[in-house]
Structure formats: structure tokens, C-alpha cells
């Protein structure tokens, strides 16, 4: 998802729909090999020549993209159409932003555990 968003930073507003349609052939490919072939086609095509930074950024990040193709198409669609992970990270950052560092992993976990994931701490239980 981040790679797609990053790619669109290079594209003018009038070209975005067409470029996104081309990028779909890459990230919706059945296998990593077919996706790499689609990326090469994109880079040699008119959009790749007009916006070479897009193909360059995809090629630079290719090692991080290829595990994505191990998932079935249904799972991949969920991955790139939801922001659940980003939302979780935002909530975690909100909780720990005022803390400098943690002496160990347990200290961080203890801080994060009582969160109700709406950005507020859960009430402490009393016995």
C-alpha cells in the first residue's frame, strides 16, 4: 500500500487513474515472476518513460514486495485495501510517543497492554 501511495506522489492528477490502472497489473499479478514482467512492461511503456521514478522505486523495494505474492488473491486484496496495520501503529505511537526509551521489552509491553485500542487507557481493575 505504501509503495502505491509513494508511486502516485510522482504522478500529476490528470494521469493518476491511468497510472493506477497500469500499476494494478503489477500488484494483482498471480505470481512474483508475472509481477516482475508487468513491472518491466510498465517501465518500458509510456507511463514508465514519463514517470521513471515509479519503476525505479518498485525495483528498489522489490525484495520487500515479493513475499506479498505468496498470499492468495483474496488475502492480498485485504492487505492492500485496509489500513488496519497503519491504524494499529498509529495507536501504538500515540501511547509511547512521550516515553523516551524502555529498559527492556517487558516495560514496553506493560505500557501497551492496558490499552483499549481507542487511544485511551483501560480502567485499572480493583480487587
Q: Indicate whether 11 and 65 sit together in one domain.
A: yes
pLDDT score recorded for residue 76: 78
pLDDT score recorded for residue 4: 80
Q: Indicate whether 68 and 91 sit together in one domain.
A: no
Q: Indicate whether 73 and 96 sit together in one domain.
A: no
**Is 127 within the bounds of a domain?**
no
pLDDT along the chain (127 residues), means of 10: 79 90 89 93 93 92 87 78 67 75 79 60 48
Q: Indicate whether 109 and 51 sit together in one domain.
A: no
Buried b (16+ CB within 10 A) or exposed e, 62-85: eeebeeebeeeeeebeeeeeeeee
Q: Indicate whether 71 and 17 sit together in one domain.
A: yes
**Is 51 within the bounds of a domain?**
yes
Contact 54, 11 (CB under 8 A): yes
Q: Indicate whether 29 and 50 sit together in one domain.
A: yes
Q: Give the closest residue to 65 by CA, choosing from 78, 53, 83, 79.
A: 79
Q: Indicate whether 57 and 93 sit together in one domain.
A: no
The predicted model scores a pTM of 0.60
> How many domains is the chain partitioned into structurally?
2
Domain hosting residue 61, numbered range: 2-81
Q: Indicate whether 77 and 93 sit together in one domain.
A: no
**Is 126 within the bounds of a domain?**
no
Amino acid at each position: 500500500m505504501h509503495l502505491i501511495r509513494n508511486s502516485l506522489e510522482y504522478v500529476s492528477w490528470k494521469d493518476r487513474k491511468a497510472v493506477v490502472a497500469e500499476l494494478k497489473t503489477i500488484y494483482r499479478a498471480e505470481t512474483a515472476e508475472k509481477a516482475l514482467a508487468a513491472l518491466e512492461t510498465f517501465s518500458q511503456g509510456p507511463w514508465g518513460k514519463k514517470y521513471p521514478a515509479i519503476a525505479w522505486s518498485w525495483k528498489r523495494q522489490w525484495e520487500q514486495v515479493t513475499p506479498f505474492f505468496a498470499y492468495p488473491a483474496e488475502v492480498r486484496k485485504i492487505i492492500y485495501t485496509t489500513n488496519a496495520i497503519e491504524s494499529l501503529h498509529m495507536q501504538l505511537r500515540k501511547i509511547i510517543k512521550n516515553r523516551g526509551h524502555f529498559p527492556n521489552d517487558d516495560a514496553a509491553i506493560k505500557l501497551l497492554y492496558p490499552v483499549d485500542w481507542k487511544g485511551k487507557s483501560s480502567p485499572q481493575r480493583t480487587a
